[in-house]
Amino acid sequence: MTTTAMALLLTWPLETGHRVILAECDPDGGAILPGALEGTLGNTHGLRNLALAGRQGQLAEAFWRQLVDVTDASSRDRLVLPGLYDPAHASSMGPVWEQLARMFTGVEEHRHDVLVDLGRRGAFGPSAVLAQRADAVVMVARNTLRGLQSAEVRMTALREQLGGATEIGLVLVDRGPFSPEEVQKHLHAPVVATMPWRPGEAEVLSDGASQPRKFESGELMRAARTTTAVLRQMVAARRARLGPPVSRGQVNSGAR
């Protein structure tokens, strides 16, 4: 999931003066600090540092100090909130999830979009409020038998959790034999996009590997750009149903 989330972060279309944030909110622990950031920041930034600030009523101020620029240009328009480095710290985050949900909902005032990586379990339990408040929820799954069996269980639970209030889409990682039409029919959920299986390109996003030639124009990043367009359409459609349309959105993503 984190690989797909990073691809979306780096390809999310931005208007002048706008920014996008990827918040790694997986209670099982984050992968970006040791992966894409190659451990260069240690534990100096991230979600864990917001727990104390949240209890002191200072989360809004502390939040912005925890964001990390992941672009070579240091433009601070594509930012990451790294996740927990130790899953044991999830127990201290209980009151913080609700505060983060409120902040993400209102962050448009700062001209920021928010992508939330909830991992496999984050859409359930105390952090589920992040999914419940999202404009769009997508589950990332490989189209293998094992991947789809896992996705079916989680899809059923996610529908119960959200109560039909939010449409759930599927992003397929094309690793297996099942077509989008077969997956859609079996899981009763729309396949909104397909990402190619490109391990060499994916390692740039998951482990900070050196970029291969023409990485930015490669198949993985091209698919990510297409996916961002679809997700923005999902957000716009939901907001049009609920009230006066506005320009931006928050997306929560499920498990890969």
Residues 145-156: tens digit of each pLDDT: 999 999 999 999
User: According to the model, what pLDDT value does residue 245 have?
Assistant: 46
Residues 155-188: tens digit of each pLDDT: 999 999 888 767 799 999 999 999 999 999 999 9
250, 105 contact by CB (below 8 A): yes
As a whole number of angstroms, the distance between CA 65 and CA 50 comes to: 10
Q: Which of 96, 112, 104 is nearest to 132 (CA)?
A: 104
User: Tokens in use for 126?
Assistant: 């105390």
At residue 250 the predicted structure's pLDDT band, cuts being 50, 70 and 90, is: low
User: Tokens in use for 78?
Assistant: 């594509």
The whole-model pTM stands at 0.89
Question: Longest Cα pair distance anywhere in the chain, in angstroms?
Answer: 51
Checking if the pLDDT of 110 tops 80, the result is no
- Return the minimum-mean-pLDDT range out of 40-54, 112-126, 207-221: 40-54
Checking if the pLDDT of 73 tops 70, the result is no
Which residues, listed in sequence order, are joined to residue 112 by a DSSP beta bridge? 19
As a whole number of angstroms, the distance between CA 218 and CA 29 comes to: 29
Please state at what angle helix 2-11 crosses helix 219-242, rounded to 10 degrees: 80
Which residues, listed in sequence order, are joined to residue 113 by a DSSP beta bridge? 20
Residue linked to tokens 């099942």: 178
